[in-house]
């Protein structure tokens, strides 16, 4: 149980285009999902907290107009990178709290590798 999926796993796009990444909790409901960004050989940095039915909470330094987050249902959150540029190239990872009796445990998606040309 407690599986989180992400789609796509890899995406290559041209500079200036927008890219949408989906994060789904497959076998549990997640009122809260998190979006992280991981640079090569570095740790995960929290970008934003996504709450179902409300606006996301962004960390300091993260542009909310550039990284649009929508948490439309208890099993789906999306991250849209708008007008992507090469510096947005990174590994984006989502996670969700959940699973039976495990509200303090986060389950991570497999990540999405974004490359902006």
Partner 1 sequence: GNSVTQMEGPVTLSEEAFLTINCTYTATGYPSLFWYVQYPGEGLQLLLKATKADDKGSNKGFEATYRKETTSFHLEKGSVQVSDSAVYFCALSDQAGTALIFGKGTTLSVSS
Rounded Cα distance, 68 and 62, in Å = 10
Among residues 18 and 42, whose Cβ is nearest to partner 1? 42
Region of 14-22, 61-69, 70-78, 104-112 interacting with partner 1 (CB under 8 A): 104-112
Ranges within 1-20 binding partner 1 (CB under 8 A): 6
Site string for partner 1, 29-58 (x = CB under 8 A): ---x-x------xxxx-x--x---------
Beta-bridged to residue 21, according to DSSP, are 79
Asked if 96 and 32 touch (Cβ cutoff 8 Å), the reply is yes
Ranges within 64-83 binding partner 1 (CB under 8 A): none
Give the residue, chosen from 23, 79, 81, 109, that forms a contact with partner 1 under the rule CB under 8 A: 109
| Cβ contacts of 43 within 8 Å, gap of 6 or more | none
How many other C-beta atoms lie within 10 A of the C-beta of residue 60? 4
């Amino acid at each position: 149980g407690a599986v989180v999926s992400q789609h796509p796993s890899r995406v290559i796009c041209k500079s200036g285009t927008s890219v949408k990444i989906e994060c789904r909790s497959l076998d549990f409901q997640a009122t809260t999902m998190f979006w992280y960004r991981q640079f090569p050989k570095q740790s995960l940095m929290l970008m934003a907290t996504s709450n179902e039915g409300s606006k996301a909470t962004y960390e300091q330094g993260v542009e909310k107009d550039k990284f649009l987050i929508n948490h439309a249902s208890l099993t789906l959150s999306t991250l849209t990178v708008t007008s992507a540029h090469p510096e947005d190239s990174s590994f984006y990872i989502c996670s969700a709290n959940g699973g039976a009796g495990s509200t303090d445990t986060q389950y991570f998606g497999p990540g999405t590798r974004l490359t902006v040309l």
